[in-house]
């Protein structure tokens, strides 16, 4: 999938084979347009850049509308370039809309916190964009946006023209066709069905 930001394009290779619930959840937000006009609200150099929490539309800050929380699917390590879902502390099954890109190998930290942070994709294009975002100065915006808001062209006038300073995600779009992963039990039943039907066909041919 593709994120068009005002600092460049980031493309993410999603991993439904590893975290099908997280991929489906993420694409639901993408296809609903919830990430359009959102912004990167947290940037910690050498750690992560994070988005999916807030929007800025028509001069107003707002929350990204959230769907129900999803179950944790931790499997892949949080190494540089991976994309994972953020969640509430002390609740492994609390991920909703917020996601982050790992700027470094954070496995020793994030793989063991709160049940492990579920990686559901990897940046295939645009890690230089993520690094450039992490290199920006940050400001303490206060709650709920937080203390590490990255700023382009630090404002020096009032009123602040926020579109000129926020790292905006102008558009998020799905690339290609996503087919939800089916439970392993289904594949087992399907394989058994194919085996049985195949044997019947072969038996009929022998009897002809």
Summarised one tens digit per residue, pLDDT across range 75-126 is 999 999 999 999 998 999 999 999 999 999 999 999 999 999 999 999 999 9
Domains of the chain are 2-182 (2.40.100.10)
Q: Which residues contact 70 (CB under 8 A, 6 or more apart)?
A: 21, 22, 25, 85, 93, 95, 96
Summarised one tens digit per residue, pLDDT across range 54-72 is 999 999 999 999 999 999 9
């Amino acid at each position: 999938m593709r994120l068009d930001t005002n600092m460049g394009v980031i493309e993410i290779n999603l991993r439904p084979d590893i975290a099908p619930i997280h991929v489906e959840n993420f694409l639901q937000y993408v296809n609903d347009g919830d990430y359009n006009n959102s912004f990167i609200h947290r940037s910690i150099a050498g750690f992560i850049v994070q988005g999916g929490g807030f929007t800025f539309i028509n001069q107003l800050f707002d929350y990204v509308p959230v769907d129900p929380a999803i179950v944790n699917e931790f499997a892949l390590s949080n190494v540089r370039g991976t994309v994972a879902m953020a969640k509430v502390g002390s609740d492994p099954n609390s991920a909703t809309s917020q996601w982050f890109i790992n700027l470094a190998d954070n496995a020793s930290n994030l793989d063991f916190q709160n049940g492990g942070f579920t990686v559901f994709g990897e940046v295939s294009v645009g890690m230089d964009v993520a690094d450039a975002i992490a290199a920006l100065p940050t400001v303490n915006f206060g709650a709920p946006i937080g203390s590490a808001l990255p700023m382009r062209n630090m404002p020096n006038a009032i009123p602040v023209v926020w579109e000129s300073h926020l790292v905006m995600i102008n558009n998020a779009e799905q690339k290609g066709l996503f087919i939800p992963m089916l439970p392993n039990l289904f594949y087992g039943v399907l394989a058994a069905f194919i085996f049985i039907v195949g044997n019947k066909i072969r038996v009929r041919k022998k009897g002809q």
